[in-house]
Amino acid sequence: MVVQALKDQGVDVVFGYPGGAVLPIYDEVFQQNDIRHILVRHEQGAVHAAEGYARSTGKPGVVLVTSGPGATNAVTGLTDALMDSIPLVVLTGQVPTFMIGNDAFQEADTVGITRPCTKHNWLVSDTKTLSGTLHQAFHVATSGRPGPVLVDIPKDVQFASADYTPPQKARIDHYQPQVKGDMDEITELVQALEKAKRPIFYTGGGVINSGPAASQLLRELVDATGVPITSTLMGLGAYPANGKNWLGMLGMHGLYEANMAMHDCDLMINIGARFDDRITGRVDAFSPGSKKAHIDIDPSSINKVIRTDIPIVGDVGHVLEDILKVWKSRGRKINREATQKWWAQIEDWKKINCLAYSQTGKAIKPQHALSRLEALTKDHDRYICTEVGQHQMWAAQYLTFNDPNRWMTSGGLGTMGYGFPASIGVQIAHPEALVINVAGEASWLMNMQEMGTAAQYRLPVKQFILNNERLGMVRQWQELLHGERYSHSWSEALPDFVKLAEAFGAKGILCKDPADLDDAIIEMLNFDGPVLFDCLVEKHENCFPMIPSGEPHNKMLLGEASTKDAIGSKGAVMV
């Protein structure tokens, strides 16, 4: 019943790890060839791999794990997927129904534990409801704001038999989120757009989650109106980085011009973002002079953090389609003279060159490492994953994304250990593509065991480690905000990553000289198999721009290279 439900839902791959309470399902998996099973080395890795698969394909990721520790190990991945709106269906084994509550071997209250970190979950106590529940799970995971769901299946339910419910007969009518936006509010937004002197589009992961059509409609709207556009970390690629209206990423480590434009705009159009704290800075000082519109399929996200003047509940794709129709029908009007002055101001902000750096000396600057990685891989069929930390922000700043679903990172939860297993999921989904995980050495070690998975399935994933022998972002905050008291932020017992790679049957590459960097990256790209690239970088380099904690988003720390020429200062300067 479980396997047939997965087949009927179009599932072609499952990421999992077997255990006693889920063996009946594993026995059925063994006896069929339509669904591929990927054996991970840890259940957290299974969920992150499924996230990478889901993000890069737009299809729900599927996970199969056992009861007790199998389920609890999946909790971090579930929370990560909930925060970033990633559709997942996680199937967990459970002890038999008559043993639930008796502290049986490998028993845990999976439904209770995962209720706060799933969109919805079910404990199936009757085999008659199992197949229908599975179809409901896929519907809930993928409808409205996507997210993870969990189905807990006791072992006696797995052993029993009952009639199978096909997808078309499953009950899903009780969950039908609103997808069409209110036309009065959409018309009000278009009217505001026609009059605005300093408009900006602020976009998020909701555009990508809505599907490829939403990204195309966004591009059409932005290019037709000539309005500048910025994006959150999760929304990169919805509008192309080579597009003429692109300002770059905004937020805590976003670009100077993007944050300044957000602060000084008179009309902010939020499309599929949630005003999270890494974007707003100090809430009471966030873009104080602007009229704000918010388009989101999740009603609970609207007015949760920032009060909006034009709230539009609906699917981004549907709402963008209606905005374009209304705007065109009203004569395609825009305040061209005012927006030209607005662009002139933005061009002045760009002159700060906030991503400037100087590659001098014998130590590789992390910015230089990623600039060279960008130059040597941008023309490939490329997917980028990251771990969490400084390297993640540098990757968002120096790598470019011209299409959606090409950028996989942990945004809301900030999960160290996310990137490596996510890259495995992406590579499984796109076996011929170049998949690179930009990592820090500390984050990568969190789920290093998945190198066994990469080696077993001969996956040519490239692990590009910016190794500063520090917990880089922690160390940066300690330098800037905690009086340079570096409490437990140095890694003093790191492995030899080349030998570690070889121990797993992969290839290891060490690079510590800027002169060798290009050749080493090319060697990594040419190797047909998993690669662990250990790039030794400047140990105390900081990631700028940066909005310090407690500051508004127009008060940024800029690095020495971008401030020295612009305002004649040295070191990090508040602008």
234 is known as an active-site residue: no
Catalytic entry in 119, 155, 365, 462: 155
Report whether 373 contacts 384 (CB < 8 A).
no
Taking every pair of Cα atoms in the chain, the longest distance, rounded to a whole number of angstroms, is 77
Report whether 443 contacts 417 (CB < 8 A).
yes
Catalytic entry in 105, 128, 197, 347: 105
Task: Look up residue 385 and give its two tokens.
Answer: 């994953």
337 is known as an active-site residue: no
Catalytic entry in 4, 106, 191, 449: 106
Catalytic entry in 473, 524, 546, 556: 473
Of 413, 362, 417, 358, nearest to 385 by C-alpha is 417
195 is known as an active-site residue: no
275 is known as an active-site residue: no
Cβ neighbours of residue 488 under 8 Å, at least 6 residues apart? 471
Peptide bond into 545 cis (omega under 30): yes
The residue written with tokens 């998996």 in the block is 29
Task: Look up residue 91 and give its two tokens.
Answer: 């199937």
Of 390, 378, 496, 379, nearest to 448 by C-alpha is 496
Distance from C-alpha of 521 to C-alpha of 509, rounded to nearest angstrom: 9
Catalytic entry in 1, 15, 43, 446: 43
The sheet with strand 462-467 has its strands ordered as 407-408, 382-386, 434-440, 462-467, 531-536, 507-511
168 is known as an active-site residue: no
DSSP designation for 242: T
Would the CA dihedral through 92, 96, 100, 103 be positive or negative? negative
Distance from C-alpha of 562 to C-alpha of 570, rounded to nearest angstrom: 9
Of 547, 271, 545, 558, nearest to 397 by C-alpha is 545
Cite the active site residues.
43, 105-106, 155, 473
